[in-house]
Structure 1
Amino acid sequence: MTIKKLHILAFLPIFALFFSCQEKNKETNSLANINQVSYNFHIRPILSDKCFACHGPDANKREADLRLDTEEGAFAALKESPGKFALVSGKIEESEVYHRITSEDPGELMPPPESNLALTENEIALIKRWIEEGAQYEPHWAFTRAEKPAVPEGTEWANNEIDQFIYHKMLEKGLEPNPKAEPYELIKRASLDLTGLPPSPEVLDRFKDFSGEFTYEDLLDGLLSDPSYGEKLAVLWMDISRYADSYGYQDDNIRTQWPYRDWVIHAFNENLPYDDFITWQLAGDLLPNANKEQILATAFNRNHKYTEEGGVIDEEYRIEYVLDKTNTFSKGILGITMECAQCHDHKYDPFSQKDYYEFFAFFNNTPEKGYEGDVSVSKPAKTPVLWMDHEDLSGIMDFINYQDTTKLSVSVMGELEGEEKRTTYILDRGVYDAPSVPVSASTPASILEFPEDLEANRLGLAKWTVNRDNPLTARVFVNLIWQEIFGTGIVKSAGDFGMQGDLPSHPELLDWLAVDFMENGWDIKRLLKQILSSATYQQSAEITKEHLAVDPENIYLVRAPRLRLTAENIQDLVLASSGLLHQELGGPSVKPYQPEGVWEAASSGRGVLATYVQDTGKSLYRRGLYNFIKLTVPPPKAIIFDASNRDQCEVGRGRTNTPLQALVMLNDPMVLEASRVLAMNLGTQFNDDSEAIEHAFKRILCRDMKPEEQDLLESYFEDQLERFENNQDQIKPTLEVGEYPIDPSQETARNAALMQVIVSLYNLEETITKI
């Protein structure tokens, strides 16, 4: 062993003691900062981690017939110790829970040593204080009506109410916010967040330091009014609505749901209030005098997979489709894991199996079939279908980008009436052919009782969903928008606001935003401008040692987050910065470059999607939103960059860091073609090599070069220029990538060298990171 290693080992006990003291100080401080111990925010997380395995909702694993997850169970007399109680309000000495968690007898100690679980001193102190304060249980925070809390006292740092809530939490943790970001950082950040596109050099120059004619507010207003705004936000909704261009399952043939995507883009750009946005998608067909646009919106419910395999049982798959609609609604709009109750009562949340099938009943009366027959013919839309002709497309639905002369069809919702209406049953263990007790359409009382004056159909469900008293809808949506901007929601588990989900990091801010959102007409653009106008959003992304020590995950937002762009936005940035992007709004999906054989390897060999037919021309250079998604073979490049595979509702994406991502950026034909096109355009525009490199840098990284960066890139350019001048046979193979036309006179060593510089710029971490 080396002397260096021995020295490190010698200091390990000191390091351990230091971090132990730090942790104890942290715990002591956290307890001192609590005015009132809350069951929801302080006690239940401890009990859930350390106690519920044996004393929770699972009757099969429950020990001593003791439940600590309910007030009734916790305050009941102990069956194994007559006359004693687990908890006695305000009385530590009479509460067996406290004696057991502080016992020094291994046979009495809880959690038992063999469980490998142990309470910290801070956790024991919290439980002790909670009992002393009355051991009050509370209804789950997310199922209580959202009220607008008082805004904490102002600070000079704050731009709006958001900052006052954020700053109050910072102070609790002994933190201070970062300085304001540089103007070029804010311009790029806001542009990527609101449009998914990088700012052009002209935009960067126009706004500069925001001290002139054009202000930061002008920037936000311009971005929110840009048609690209609707495309950017539509990516989130395509994941939630599990949009795809094929049916899934084995044959996985083509379908025409893309007009629904055009509608979503249109709705966001027109700033359709969120309550209407949801109502139209759930029940546009049931609105009085419903028009075709409102009916088209109901395609939201029909984006799930469909089987086209002969020999399937029709009712089995029809039930699968209704289950999917129910689960998508509950997860994407309400943020709850209702699907857990398909087969049995929910183990953790207050949802019974009866509650689940009462939800299910709202979606169970569409004239949809599990299988439409004739496996040799794949229909572009399944029953019920909305047909659109050119009169529609030049009228109320002129936002749909359709150039063909044939009619267009989309799968939408319809409703059975009268004697055709189905009776909904609780399905024993969730099996399609095991109906048991009949139920009527209704909603869980634990969320909000279904009013008697509402229609017992999807329109009634929509009204219930956007009711001011519904505790979930607004909270879930503002949390999704927060997640879009900051990478993590105020509630980290954006699709699970239930008892096993994450607690909100800033519960008062979440409620304030949710109520404010409803009070101001469910205005999405206003919500986004509110967030982007905050001082919280406008902070620098610089990370300090203190940040990493106290708040490594940036939960308290003392800095702007550093987030790798989504798969679609990486494609958009490369195409836009190179000048290749074809900014056509809406229309059918396109098939860009893709590795040979990937598609066919997972294909059944039948139908029009049996082989991959790449598009050509302008279709190759469209935004990532429009890439064709075949459910059995999602776009491989997008999946490498953590895109949703769209086979079910998803409310968030992971952000991994893998070697495959680097390989894509180095070898993808789109990146290489974009580099070549930009190199040739700049080579023509600038005679001076340094100016060409400087302009490329600004287009791609959205800032001016530093002197050391300029020296490095110019040196690399000279190396590459020498390489190509000495190896003329390498020029043509390097430049002739992609289908964009190339002028033979531009096949020069200079352009090839400049292309290599641009490829390196696209491969910088800063390029594909929002900072």
Structure 2
Amino acid sequence: MIGKARSSILGAFLVSPLVFSLFIAFSCENQKQPTSAASPETVSYNLHIRPILSENCFACHGPDANKREAGLRLDREDDALAALRESPEKNAIVPGKPHESEAFVRILTEESTERMPPPSSNLALSERQINLIEKWIRQGAVYEPHWAFLPPKQGNLPEIESSDWVQNEIDFFVLAAMQEKGLQPNPRAGMQQLVRRIHFDLTGLPPAPGLVTRAGKSDFSVEDLIDSLFSVPAYGEKMAIAWMDVARYADSHGYQDDYYRTQWPWRDWVIHAFNQNMPYDQFVTWQLAGDLLPNPTKEQILATGFNRNHKITEESGAIDEEYRVMYAIDRTNTFGKAMLGITLECAQCHDHKYDPIAQKEYFQLYAFFNNVAEKGIEEASPGFSKKSPAKLPLMEITDEDTREILQFINMPDSNRRVQTLLANMSKGTNYNSLLAEADVLKVSVMADLDSLRPTFILDRGAYDAPTEAVSPGTPAALLKYPDHLPQNRLGLARWLFDPENPTTARVFVNRIWQEIFGLGLVDTPGDFGMQGNLPVNQPLLDWLAVDFMDNGWDIQYLLKKIMLSATYQQSSTVMQDKFKTDPDNRYLSRFSRQRLKAEEIRDLVLASSGLLNREIGGPSVKPYQPEGMWEAATSGRGNLSAYQQDTGKYLYRRGLYTFIKRTVPPPQMMLFDASNRDACEVERVKTDTPLQALAMMNDTYVLEASRVLAEKLLSQRNTVAGKIHEAFFKIVGRQPDEKEMAILSDNYAGFLQIYQADVKRAARVLAVGEFPADESIPVDEKAALMQVISLIYNLEETNTKS
């Protein structure tokens, strides 16, 4: 066994992933790897040939007409089989005859001036790749359409050897794929482990200890637990975390001066929409085009703040049109990555080199987002600090709005709002203007011009180089834009959710799968195109996509379907033979161990210690962070030039509400791989670094939480062992075993002896955080138990969903 879901205390500090990664690297390096995989009986264009051509040939012989060499195009069958422009007596590919196929002959030639890929490209085909191409041509050189550009079809459930393990349709597909690889599923996880897993997946918070205890009873129902968590407001907060990355939400405009912005009411709407289980098609339609719906409500208009979350400059020397174009480009690229799973940005300057998307089609899509009544540079405006926290077009939200029609917005009281504005003000602010600003929130939303702004193809993507005029449209390779739809963002949303659109449902289902299992069925979630990786289980992905559409784009239905599968409910124990066969667990013969997200690590610490402020929504907050970070990385201008830390209950809000200044993102979040929100992100990088361990061992909020929990436990009438046991149970979500209890008890005794001999040292250890201390508890006992709790917070198992 390489590891267990249940980590031992020994060597379990958070730094252990670094050691583990070195161990894995050494193990993999010393495993005997086959020099080449066996040649398939039938060579597939999609599975075997297209990846080779895409990597080595399409840059010069692909969709980009501007860069195409010798007039040869290898990504389309008719072009590849046609006579060569420069040698009409020859063909690049002759089905059945590899050695009469000029493309293959050029691969084999020893003549450097004739060889393909050319030596100057630093590309070369392996022997196996050459053999695959030869076999494919010999078998008829059959081209296949790109899988992601065809609408998903729901095939029959695959046949499997035994159905005893299966709990729903998902398991048929997963088990069939496992059995092809010679794998078998893990046993079911323990109920306490499942309860913790489900809580983190649906709320981002640890379960209450009482619920974990009840999970062992025979009448406990996983389905009932899932249903109950859907109704908890924390569900919307958990789901919003990933959507903030997609929507590039931040609390500052970005760029050098980086002023304050008030987009947080839009975040409150996102939480509300998830908690209302708004269908995905409606959820996205409102965000893309809520302002264009018939008689739009303020809520529908607020939803369009999604499109305005991009960076905005306020620098005097900037060129207005340049930045206005940049904003429209950002919205276009975000639409491609977030909704379509396509790298549209590659077609901004030229035809896409790998996918069949022309530069003209890029700017046709751009045209949908190019009619906003906005400016590239918008500096002076009346009111707060002579800088508006929102940019035109904007929507004003009053107290009356939040009482009557936007009740989900957590409008802070007047005193709190004034304090927030004071903390973000510049010198010379008029106090009366400040009070007026406190009565009204301003959020950047969408509103089109009364007239149509013309859209042009921009030569090499440059804002000042317009060429051919274009009308709104979409990439034909995905789905032709119907004539009956309006040529505006609402029409675009209808096109997006057309049942024949091949990527929309697949992309979202894949991201939900990624959120739960750590790796999508397509592990390039932002690229379903030619350069993206093939799905590990396309029949399952397509079945889920169609099922999702057939069930009304119901997000909770999709989550529940996944969580009730035997696939999801497996243990995370890693066996040596499985690790050799499938080290990344792509075939899901176990549940993947995943470190919690940055926000969730914070939430776990605060929740288990009792410090967490569970208030839903409202403005972002500024928790503890090292002094001088903002000041060292600022121009010295702007209302965010200095960091004004929050106090009281606002220090203990969930990670979702941490203030994000784009030029200086929150350090604790960034250490644990959170997005800096500069652009749309559909997948966070995953790193293991010593700095993460240092943060967990030294960050103020972790030490403060350890102190507060120690005080609460020491105020109870039970033994030291009982207090340690309860701390472990609250934090890790299971009972410690005897060996773990012995280590932790010895740890406590050792620290107690140190602090009894040096009470001043104990006092220094306890002097952390702003939460009031309980002075009635002896400092030596408090400091000793605090150190034990800090150790538990640093266990790898604590910060892992498994």
TM-score (norm 2): 0.89
State the match for 2:491 in structure 1: 460
- Are positions 1:384 and 2:386 aligned together? no
1:396 aligns with 2:429: no
Tell me which of 294, 297, 309 is aligned to 2:315. Answer: 309
Indicate conservation of the 8 Å contact 1:308/1:378, yes or no: no
Distance 1:157 1:674 in 2: 42
Residue number in structure 2 paired with 1:7: none
CA spacing shift, 1:721–1:221, aligned 2, 3 Å:
same
Q: Please say if 1:235 is aligned against 2:241.
A: yes
* Unaligned stretches of 5+ residues in structure 1: 1-14
Contact residue 340 and residue 346 of structure 1 kept, 8 A? yes
| Residue among 576, 579, 588 paired with 1:545 | 576
* Letter of the structure 2 residue corresponding to residue 557 of structure 1: L
- Are 1:85 and 2:91 an aligned pair? yes
* More deviation, 540-549/675-684: 540-549
State the secondary structure of the residue aligned to 2:404: coil
Contact 2:231 / 2:275 at 8 angstroms: preserved in 1?
yes
Corresponding residue for 1:663?
694
Output the amino acid matched with 1:200. Answer: A
Aligned CA distance change for structure 1 residues 657 and 558 (closer, same or farther; 3 Å): same
Distance apart, 1:146 and its partner CA: 1.5
What CA deviation, in whole Å up to 9, does each residue of 1:86-128 have, x standing for no partner?
322344564455666678999998668895633344x455434
Asked if structure 1 preserves the Cα contact closer than 8 Å seen for 2:54 and 2:354, the reply is: no
Shift of 1:700: 0.8
Q: Which residue of 2 aligns with 1:48?
A: 54
Q: Which amino acid aligns with 1:240?
A: V
1:55, distance to aligned residue in structure 2 (A): 4.7
Find the residue that maps to 2:40 and give its secondary structure: helix
Which residue of the partner structure matches residue 32 of structure 2? 19
RMSD across aligned positions (CA): 2.3
Q: Which amino acid aligns with 2:571?
A: S
1:410 match: secondary structure: strand
Letter in 2 for 1:340: C
**CA drift at 1:259:** 0.4
Secondary structure in structure 2 of the residue aligned to 1:425: strand
Once the two structures are superposed, residues 575-609 of structure 1 have per-residue CA deviations (whole angstroms, 9 ceiling, x without a partner) of 01111111000001000001000011112223332
Task: State the match for 1:3 in structure 2.
Answer: none
**Residue in structure 1 matching 2:195, options 173, 187, 192:** 187
Given that residues 54 and 530 in structure 2 are in contact (C-alpha distance below 8 angstroms), is that contact kept between their aligned partners in structure 1? no
Contact 2:711 2:774 in 1 (8 A): no
User: How far does residue 38 in structure 1 lie from its aligned partner after superposition?
Assistant: 2.7
1:244-287 residue CA offsets vs partner (Å, 9 max, x unmatched):
11111122111110000000000001100000001000000110
Q: CA deviation at 1:444?
A: 1.2
SS in 1 for 2:770: coil
Whether contact under 8 Å (1:731, 1:747) holds in the other structure is no
Q: Classify 1:162/1:278 alpha carbon distance in 2 versus 1 (closer, same or farther; 3 Å).
A: same
Q: Give the drift of 1:58.
A: 6.1
Letter in 1 for 2:445: V
Of 296, 308, 319, which aligns to 2:302?
296
Residues 120/163 of structure 1: CA separation in 2 closer, same or farther (3 Å cut)? farther
Tell me if structure 1 keeps the 8 A contact 2:700–2:769. yes
* Equivalent residue, structure 1, for 2:124: 117
Partner of 1:196 in structure 2?
204
Match of 2:425 in 1: none
CA contact (8 A) 1:310 1:374 kept: no
Deviation of 1:142 after TM superposition, in Å, equals: 1.1
Contact persistence 2:51–2:530 (CA under 8 A): no
Rounded to whole Å, the distance in 1 between the matches of 2:349 and 2:410 is 43
Which residue of 375, 378, 382 maps to 1:369?
Answer: 375
1:532 deviates by 1.1
Match of residue 412 from structure 1 = 445
Task: Encode CA deviations 1:133-185: one digit per residue, 9 max, x unaligned.
Answer: 43221222111111112221252222111111111111111111122112222
Matched residue, 2:419? none
Q: Secondary structure at the match of 2:456?
A: strand
The corresponding residue for 1:431 is 462
| Cα separation, partners in 2 of 1:48 and 1:434, compared to 1, 3 Å | closer
SS in 2 for 1:388: strand
Aligned with 1:176 (options 184, 187, 198): 184
Alignment partners' CA distance in 1, 2:117 and 2:359: 31
Picking from 701, 710, 719, the partner of 2:741 is 710
Residue 399 of structure 1 aligns with an amino acid whose one-letter code is: F
Task: Tell me if the contact between 2:341 and 2:527 (Cα under 8 Å) persists in the aligned partners.
Answer: yes
Q: 1:434 to 1:81 in 2, by over 3 A?
A: closer
Of the three residues 604, 611, 616, the one matched with 1:585 is 616
Query: Is 2:602–2:655's contact at 8 Å kept on the other side of the alignment?
Result: yes
2:442 match: secondary structure: strand
Q: 1:605 aligns with which of 632, 636, 647?
A: 636
| 3-state SS in 2 of match to 1:685 | coil
Bigger RCO (CA 8 Å, 6+ sep):
2
Amino acid at match of 1:762: Y
**Given residue 119 of structure 1, which amino acid in structure 2 is its aligned partner?**
S
What corresponds to 2:289 in structure 1? 283
CA distance in 1, matches of 2:80, 2:346: 25
State the partner residue of 2:164. Answer: 156
Contact 1:387 1:410 in 2 (8 A): yes
Amino acid at match of 1:174: G
| Residues 567 and 588 in structure 2, CA contact (< 8 A), matched pair in contact too | yes
Give the superposition deviation at 1:678: 0.4
Identify which of 207, 228, 250 aligns with 2:256. Answer: 250
1:408 Cα deviation after fit: 1.7
Which residue of the other structure, out of 343, 349, 357, is the alignment partner of 1:343? 349
- Correspondence 1:568 to 2:599: yes
For 1:66 and 1:524, how far apart are their aligned partners in 2? 45
**Any idea what SS the aligned residue of 1:744 has?**
coil
Aligned to 1:273: 279
Percent identical pairs in the alignment equals 58
1:684 aligns with 2:715: yes
Q: Which residue identity does 2:535 align to in structure 1?
A: P
- 1:638 and 2:669 are equivalent in the alignment: yes
State the SS of the aligned residue for 1:409. Answer: strand
Tell whether the 8 Å contact from 1:323 to 1:360 is kept in structure 2 after alignment: yes
Distance 1:349 1:111 in 2: 20
CA distance in 1, matches of 2:402, 2:68: 61
Q: Secondary structure at the match of 2:386?
A: coil
Match of 1:494 among 525, 536, 545: 525
Letter of the structure 1 residue corresponding to residue 175 of structure 2? Y
Query: Residues 252 and 660 of structure 2 are in contact (CA less than 8 Å); yes or no, is this contact kept in structure 1?
Result: yes
Distance 1:23 1:255, change over 3 A: same
Output the CA distance in 2 between the equivalents of 1:440 and 1:221. 46
2:213 is matched with: 205
In 2, Cα distance between equivalents of 1:58 and 1:453: 30
* 1:466-485 matches, cutoff 5 A: 466-485=497-516
- For 2:9, the equivalent position in structure 1 comes to none
- Output one character per residue of 1:378-421: Cα deviation in whole Å (capped at 9) or x when no partner: 1011111111222221122101000335122211101122xx32
Alignment check: 8 A CA contact 2:379 2:387 kept: no
Cα offset, 1:53, TM superposition: 5.7
Distance in structure 1 (CA, Å) of the matches to 2:209 and 2:586? 33
Q: Is 1:513 aligned to residue 520 of structure 2?
A: no
Match of 1:76 in 2: 82
Asked whether the 8 Å contact 2:247–2:680 carries over to 1, the reply is: yes
- For structure 2, the 5+ residue unaligned runs are 1-27, 415-438
Shift of 1:47: 2.5
Deviation at 1:73, TM superposition (A): 3.3
| Residue 684 (structure 1) shift | 0.9
Moved more, 400-409 or 110-119: 110-119
CA distance in 1, matches of 2:93, 2:182: 35
Q: Judging changes above 3 Å, is the alpha-carbon distance between structure 1 residues 727 and 286 closer, same or farther for their aligned structure 2 residues?
A: same
Instruction: Deviation per CA, 1:283-322: give whole Å up to 9, x if none.
Output: 0011011111000000000111111122432222111111
Q: How does 1:617-766 map to 2 (within 5 A)?
A: 617-766=648-797
Q: Residue 31 in 1 paired to residue 62 in 2? A: no
Contact 2:280-2:553 at 8 Å conserved across structures: yes
